[in-house]
Amino acid sequence: MTKKYFGTDGIRGEVGKPPITADFLLKLGWAAGKVFANGGHDFVLVGKDTRISGYMFESALEAGLTAAGMGTRLLGPMPTPGIAYLTRTLRAQAGIVISASHNPYYDNGVKFFSVDGTKLADEVEEKIEYYLDAPISTVSSAKLGKAKRIADASGRYIEYCKASIPTRLDFAHLKIVVDCANGATYHIAPHVFSEIGAEVIALGVMPDGVNINENCGATNTAQLVACVIAEQADLGIALDGDGDRLIMVDHKGEVVDGDELIYIIAKSRLSEGKMQGPVIGTLMTNLGMEHALTTLGIDLLRANVGDRYVMEMLNEHNGILGGENSGHIICLDKTTTGDGIIAALQILAEMHYSGKTLHELKSGMQKYPQVLINVKVAKKVNLDDYPSVQSAVNAVESKLANKGRVLLRSSGTEPLLRVMVEGENKDLVQSCAEQLANEVHIAIGA
């Protein structure tokens, strides 16, 4: 069954344009309530990030769930992985996240977690879509759902994060800059890192509803780099708007991306004798990471882009570690979904055990130059329908002479075609990527 509304990471779009409207979110709450009503638990959790539209959509979802007879527990601003954790530990029937993750404030979306704190199965999303196309009805007044707020949600999650590393580890010698992207971790991440002993300088902790991800966080590390250097900090931590991505900065101001962080964690698990299964990357995973893991005797398997597909392959191959270069890092030995704070704690723990700086830890992996250019398109396209684009791809691959990769793919969350070129020679990679992106723009650009 082809899903009408759900994409690779829930339902997402621009606020005020279908389907991200108040009336649709009310219907979505009702549809989800109908599906979850017979699960044995009488409430679902609803959390959000800090974008201004979250208030409107929180109310709409609550109304729909109530009409379906499902209770609601409101968490307020809470990182996506925190909602996954609380869904599991509070025994909720499901968790609902109102967030557009790394997107700008004028976008928003909804994603769900199962009772186990994992992404919903396709068949559950299909059931929700079935009710979305059915006429809405309201249960009798005696059966209406009830809504409550959970006051201690952030404290529960903070303790859970800290418990992902041994309590004996002390980080009093570290100065850390933490950029919360004016998002859902603003009132959580600084506490986590200060409570394990580190000196914390907090950035991006003044959300106003419209500044989420704006020139800050995991998608824009310039502010973090400058602050790490100015403060002579040991490292910087950048999270995205909903807290499921992590990018770091070493003491020299060099950005450490998701691939490098996954490599560090994999090597750490291997040294502890706790590595299990292959590492799961994506089509975007850098060749340098694949080569570095091979040197360690660890296999890398590539999933389609999206943490949903990484998770599916992890489960299929009984793995514990995977993720994306964008910063989604899944440590299944610690949690059930991608979690930026918990991933950062694993890096800090390895720094403690090894006595090495972040800069030294990443040095075991040499990245290939990789250039990614986004081309705006009017709609999702089938590249097979554009022979000129295929010819341009073939030409670039010939130039790379089997020493690189070319990847064209549609974004799962935005109207973009992503053009990626990777190879040994930086200048050649840059020129090839520009050449290919230009050809794509001419052929199918918006």
Residues 156 and 89 sit within 8 Å (Cβ to Cβ): yes
Buried b vs exposed e over 65-79: b needs ≥16 C-beta within 10 Å? bbbbbbbbbbbbbbb
Q: Tell me how far the alpha carbon of residue 90 is from its chain's centroid.
A: 23
Could you list the active site residues?
101
| β-pair type (95-98, 107-113) | antiparallel
Q: Please classify residue 317 by burial: count the beta carbons closer than 10 Å to its beta carbon, then call 0-12 exposed, 13-18 middle and 19+ buried.
A: middle
φ/ψ of 13, rounded to 5, equals 175, -170
Instruction: Tell me the three state secondary structure of residue 226.
Output: helix
How many other CB atoms are found less than 10 A from the CB of residue 150?
Answer: 16
The amino acid sitting at 216 is C
* Whether the bond into 19 is cis, omega within 30 of 0: yes
CA distance 252 to 229: 7
CA distance 117 to 286: 29
The full DSSP string for 396-422 is HHHHHTTSEEEEEEE-SSSSEEEEEEE
Residues 189 and 224 sit within 8 Å (Cβ to Cβ): no
CA 300 → CA 83, 282, 291, 321, 368, distances in Å? 29, 9, 9, 10, 16
How many other CB atoms are found less than 10 A from the CB of residue 22?
Answer: 16
Smallest Cα–Cα separation from 280: which of 329, 242, 235? 329
CA distance 261 to 263: 5
**Consecutive H or E run containing 441:** helix 426-444
CA 201 → CA 207, 232, 246, 315, distances in Å? 16, 11, 17, 37
CA distance 372 to 257: 14
